[in-house]
Structure 1
Amino acid sequence: MRKKWLLLALFALLALVGCSDPVQDDLLHYVNDEMPELVQEETAIIDLYDSVIGPNHQDDSITYQTLTTEVIPQYVGYMDRVQKVEIETSELREIHENYIDALHLQHSAFLGVVSAIEHQDYGEMDAANAKLHEAGKMMREYQEDVKSLAEEHDVQLKK
């Protein structure tokens, strides 16, 4: 009789484990464990970029120096760390890959700004700004895709 109860309990436990949602588990790990430090790192890099661009622009040499010695090298390291994030499910992996594409486009834009300064070419600067705009759009789409996936799999995201 005891063996029947143990066997029944084991089957009940396996049934509960079998009902778990791998996307939900993956997403929870992603938003709670993988991304928080990376988001902080990206924010710091973008803040550094913003400190020498637009209304904060002082002169081209400061912008050039900051981009080439700080922003771009830090961003390359950041992209490497983002690419190493381990993702188990195809649904989340696809969204994450779109984010990586946005990062690569933004990196290309940073390089375009450097090139525009080197060549004093306003056309290159316009092209770099267009890439920055598109990368920003892609990042907003990534955020919306994460929110949608969270809603589909009953994951509450905090802002």
Structure 2
Amino acid sequence: MRFVLIAVMAFVLALTAGCGSDPVAEDIKSYVPKIQEILPLANEAQNAFLKGGSSDEERLKAIDSIVVPKYKEFISKLEQIRPQTKELRDLHEVYIKSANKEYSAYSQINSVSVLTNIGHINDALAESRAEMRKYNDGVAELLKQHGLKIVPPSTK
């Protein structure tokens, strides 16, 4: 989930057109910092999932104690973000849908479910990635349509 999103959200958006004349552009500029603020929760959950541990028991403990709670908190904060424009609101709903699918997959992982539901879990994660690609493509298109470009943040 964090593939392109992290790359996009790790940058600062800069207007290439006039200031204040485009409500969608202004909404995007307001939206990005809100996403950046909560993204560390998702990253922490995903990193804990990927690192897991050296044994099944350690991996399951990481999922129960870090991955699921952090991702639940991330989704809670993600759902509190309310873009003002329909264009961004629609894309944000795609993001929420993707995050919920990923959370559902993480939540289903336990010693029993891994053995019986691995196909379903993998499908849910694949669906989440597909939704995230849709979100990323939509954000890229909105940036293009509204004269925004991505510029690396200052390293001062």
With normalisation by structure 2, the TM-score equals 0.78
1:148 and 2:141 are equivalent in the alignment: yes
**Partner residue, 1:94:** 90
Once the two structures are TM-superposed, the CA of residue 149 in structure 1 deviates from its matched residue by 0.6
Q: Hey, what's the Cα distance between the residues in 2 that align with 1:104 and 1:85?
A: 15
1:129 and 2:125 are equivalent in the alignment: no
- Considering only aligned residues, what root-mean-square deviation do their CA atoms show, in Å? 2.0
3-state secondary structure, aligned to 2:108? helix
Once the two structures are TM-superposed, the CA of residue 119 in structure 1 deviates from its matched residue by 4.7
Q: Hey, what's the Cα distance between the residues in 1 that align with 2:145 and 2:90?
A: 15
1:22 and 2:23 are equivalent in the alignment: yes
Q: Hey, what's the Cα distance between the residues in 2 that align with 1:120 and 1:42?
A: 22
1:105 and 2:78 are equivalent in the alignment: no
3-state secondary structure, aligned to 2:70? helix
Letter of the 1:30 partner, please give it. Answer: Y
Once the two structures are TM-superposed, the CA of residue 147 in structure 1 deviates from its matched residue by 0.8
**Any stretches of 5+ residues in structure 2 without a counterpart?**
1-17
- Structure with a larger share of its residues in strand: 2
**Partner residue, 2:72:** 76
Moved over 3 A (4+): none
Once the two structures are TM-superposed, the CA of residue 45 in structure 1 deviates from its matched residue by 1.6
Once the two structures are TM-superposed, the CA of residue 66 in structure 1 deviates from its matched residue by 0.9
Higher relative contact order (CA 8 A, sep 6+): 2
Identity among equivalent positions (%) equals: 23
Q: Cα–Cα, structure 1 residues 119 and 141, in superposed 2: closer, same or farther, change >3 Å?
A: closer
Q: Cα–Cα, structure 1 residues 102 and 28, in superposed 2: closer, same or farther, change >3 Å?
A: same
Measured against aligned partners, the alpha-carbon deviations of 1:17-57 in whole angstroms (never above 9, x if no partner) come to 9x7111110011112x21112223322221111011xxxx5
For these two proteins, the number of residue pairs brought into alignment is: 135
3-state secondary structure, aligned to 1:87? coil
**Partner residue, 2:43:** 43
Indicate if the aligned counterparts of 1:150 and 1:156 stay in contact, CA closer than 8 A. yes
Measured against aligned partners, the alpha-carbon deviations of 1:113-148 in whole angstroms (never above 9, x if no partner) come to 22xx22552x40121012111211211221111110
With normalisation by structure 1, the TM-score equals 0.77
Q: Hey, what's the Cα distance between the residues in 2 that align with 1:41 and 1:155?
A: 27
3-state secondary structure, aligned to 1:156? strand
